[in-house]
Structure 1
Amino acid sequence: MNSTDSRKKVGFVGLGIMGRSMAGHILDGGHELHVYNRTKGKGAELVARGAVWHDSAGEVAAACDILVTIVGYPKDVEETYLGAGGIVERAKAGAVLIDMTTSSPTLAVEIAAKAAQKGVRTLDAPVSGGDVGAKAGKLSIMVGGDEAAFNVALPLLRLMGENIVLQGGPGAGQHTKMSNQIAIASTMIAVSESLAYAKASGLDAGRVLSSIGTGAASSFALNVLGPKMLADDYAPGFYVHHFIKDMSIAIAEAERMKLDLPGLALAKRLYETLASSGFGEEGTQAIYRLYEQHAGK
């Protein structure tokens, strides 16, 4: 960075499949990086590159001006932020807390309110783009919260993503991510059924992809995950069990709003079947496994 004035003490909590790459971009951006993860070994590479290790999320919060979290489930977010000795309790007055976990919009509103009582600002900023987008620093970042806090965080967010949009107040980022996951859920079923149909009819499914992938059916799911389905490549860019978590949040929020989403409900049931068969640690493209017996396998 050209100016030491723009160098901040940044905390990062959650160094999983996406978090490690995202934190690495912050370190590459010249910031003083402080990290914590429940499994210490996942932070070893960042520490070797100059990051400072802490033994709890609360310790990270106490040391930093801006804190980023990306953990697993809403219960993890709640414990990390609102638990005894947690982030909200130990954060500095004036700090900006950015939760990039896909979590509950209702919880995001609660955290924002409790943080505000301490003079701390929060943003809910879930992302889309998977491990590929995280590694490339090209995530789509959907943000909810105060505009002034967003402006403070924006230079940091730009180290991790390209499409960064303030959607509204607290919870708006999470609601936007739910919209994203709802669109993906039915699309994953559609891609699987399309490929199963192509194979069952005797077509070369790879050639079919080359035709329909540039037309109206074009999507990330079709053009990136479709070939992985055909290659039986189910390595996770985004875990099945995390996707089930996201769909569960979306259904709960939809029910609260008295909104019926049958496509989402079907996708959740199919993914739960997949997970119960032992494939919860695979990537979301593994939904194709449920169609393989009908696709010439």
Structure 2
Amino acid sequence: MRVGIVGLGRMGGAFTRNLLRRGYDLYVYDIVRSKVENFEKLGAKGASSPADLASKVDIVLTNVPKAEDVLDVYLGANGIIHGAKPGLIAVETSTTDISSKLRVAGELSSRGIKFIVAMLGLTVPQAERGETPLFVGGPEDVFRDPNVQRLFMDLSSGKIFYMGSIEAAVAFKLITNSIGFAQLVALLEGIEFISKFGVDLEKFLSAARETAAYNYWFEARRDKLMKEDYSAYFPIDFIIKDLMYTLESAKDVTCPLPMTSLAVQLYIMASSKGYGNEDGIALRKLLKELCKK
């Protein structure tokens, strides 16, 4: 089985390293040529375009930043649709809106190309280890394909959830991101509030772990919070992008999301202060300013 990866950013790069370690016959493409060259040194085969890559593989996996990138990678002048060979299976993993994925699915289907989405849980360290939870949507026969199942197993260590439709899988990813990023806002404002009463950060995080306030961020960002290390695991500007996709999708189904709306405004304020390329916990710097006596 030959697998192609289009998009060698943080997650795409992590997938590539994981699959190379597992011995996959791997083809790669990124708009930044140096990224392709780096993976060629590790044993991957470079492609000159998404179309070129699609002509050489059995399964192509895509992970790119924005909806317009998804459309270009699949439907653009050098897109996958123009190079796909009969029987190609495309697996789209980018966090974007629902409508762009449905457009791609429709265009590919008209050419006989199979398409599903596999939305991603957690972050780069899990992807490096092949432990990324996958939330899959699309035709069940494509999901059950033995090659797809093997690839998904190696990406996720078996943490695979079939959500049904493409829309359901993407909506699940968007809203769970929104819940998580709203929880991060609540944690960071709680840290600033309790500091006014002389409770230090380490004591707060340890004690609050035993309460209903405990959530993913307590462990995922504990060390970075303690060190005030704001280097990006997942930058604020990416959080804003994801939350805006959620709100756009909510508008399409007339479902107001007041907590998501409030959270995105705070992240936008942090970005306007110059923190957009820093990790989500850099929102703490904005909250420190707001909490000054």
Asked if 1:247 corresponds to 2:240, the answer is: no
> Which of 42, 65, 88 pairs up with 1:49?
42
User: What's the RMSD between the two structures over aligned residues?
Assistant: 1.7
Output one character per residue of 1:145-175: Cα deviation in whole Å (capped at 9) or x when no partner: 1112112212112222242111012232211
Q: 1:115 aligns with which of 108, 112, 117?
A: 108
2:58 is matched with 65
**Counterpart Cα distance in 2 of 1:270 and 1:295:** 14
> Does 2:88 correspond to 1:92?
no
Match of 1:213 in 2: 209
Confirm or deny: 8 A CA contact 1:57 1:87 kept in the other structure.
yes
Question: 2: distance between equivalents of 1:186 and 1:262?
Answer: 11
CA contact (8 A) 1:131 1:238 kept: no
Query: In the aligned structure 2, how far is the partner of 1:168 from the partner of 1:269?
Result: 32
Find the counterpart in structure 2 of residue 203 from structure 1.
Answer: 199
The unaligned stretches of length 5 or more in structure 2 are: none
What displacement does 1:190 show?
0.6
Distance 1:107 1:294, change over 3 A: closer
Q: Which moved more, 1:18-27 or 1:39-48?
A: 39-48
Residue 280 (structure 1) aligns with: 276
Task: Give distance in 2, aligned partners of 1:180 and 1:74.
Answer: 19
Shift of 1:110: 1.6
TM-score for both structures, normalised by structure 2: 0.94
Distance in 1 (CA, whole Å) between partners of 2:134 and 2:210 is 26
Question: In 2, are the aligned partners of 1:123 and 1:149 still within 8 Å (CA)?
Answer: yes
Letter in 1 for 2:27: H
Identity over aligned residues, as a percent? 27
C-alpha contact 1:22 1:135 (8 A) present in aligned 2: yes
Q: How does 1:1-297 map to 2 (within 5 A)?
A: 8-152=1-145, 153-162=148-157, 163-293=159-289
